Amino acid sequence: MAFRLALDTMGGDYGPGEIIPAAIYALKKHHDLELQLVGLEDVIKPRLAQLTPELSIRAQVIHAPEVVAMDEAPSSALRNKKKSSMRVAIEQVKKGQAHACVSAGNTGALMAISRYILKMLPGIDRPAICTTIPGINNHTHILDLGANVDSSAEQLFQFAVMGAELTGAVENIVSPKVGLLNVGTEENKGNDQVKQAAALLSNSHLNYIGFVEGNHIYSGYADVIVCDGFVGNIALKASEGVAEFFSHHVSSEFKKNLYGKLASVVSMPILKSIRRKTDPRRYDGASLLGLRGIVIKSHGRADRVSFAHALEEAMLEVEKNIPARITSKLEALLTRN
Residues at the interface with a copy of itself (CB under 8 A) = 71, 73, 134-136, 146, 149-150, 181-183, 186, 188, 190-192, 213-219, 227, 229-231, 233-246, 248-250, 253-254, 256, 259-260, 262-264, 266-267, 269-270, 273-274, 277-278
Q: Which is nearer to a copy of itself, 83 or 275 (CB)?
A: 275
Q: Which is nearer to a copy of itself, 210 or 214 (CB)?
A: 214
Strand, helix or coil for residue 286 = strand
Cα–Cα dist 130/148, whole Å: 12
Q: Which is nearer to a copy of itself, 53 or 269 (CB)?
A: 269
Q: Which is nearer to a copy of itself, 80 or 328 (CB)?
A: 80
Residue 135: CB minimum distance to a copy of itself, A? 7
Residue 336: CB minimum distance to a copy of itself, A? 32
Residue 55: CB minimum distance to a copy of itself, A? 36
CB contact at 8 A, 62 and 88: yes
Q: Which is nearer to a copy of itself, 122 or 241 (CB)?
A: 241
Residue 218: CB minimum distance to a copy of itself, A? 4
Q: Looking only at Cα atoms, what is the longest distance across the chain?
A: 69
CB contact at 8 A, 58 and 49: no
Q: Which is nearer to a copy of itself, 32 or 253 (CB)?
A: 253
Sequence-separated contacts (24+) of 329-332 with Cβ below 8 Å? 329/161, 329/165, 330/121, 330/122, 330/123, 330/124, 330/161, 331/122
Question: How many CB atoms sit inside 10 A of residue 106's CB?
Answer: 27
Residue 103: CB minimum distance to a copy of itself, A? 18
Cα–Cα dist 14/299, whole Å: 11
Peptide bond into 71 cis (omega under 30): no
Residue 166: CB minimum distance to a copy of itself, A? 21
Q: Which is nearer to a copy of itself, 174 or 259 (CB)?
A: 259
Nearest to 152 by CA among 79, 226, 242, 73: 226
Q: Which residues contact 192 (CB under 8 A, 6 or more apart)?
A: 153
Nearest to 226 by CA among 243, 205, 210: 210
CB contact at 8 A, 120 and 111: no
Helix 322-336 to helix 153-171 angle (10° resolution) is 130
Nearest to 262 by CA among 273, 270, 254, 252: 254
Residue type, 46: P
Cα torsion angle, 212, 217, 218, 223, sign: positive
Residue 116: CB minimum distance to a copy of itself, A? 18
Residue 115: CB minimum distance to a copy of itself, A? 17
Q: Which is nearer to a copy of itself, 200 or 250 (CB)?
A: 250
Q: Which is nearer to a copy of itself, 56 or 251 (CB)?
A: 251
Residue 146: CB minimum distance to a copy of itself, A? 5
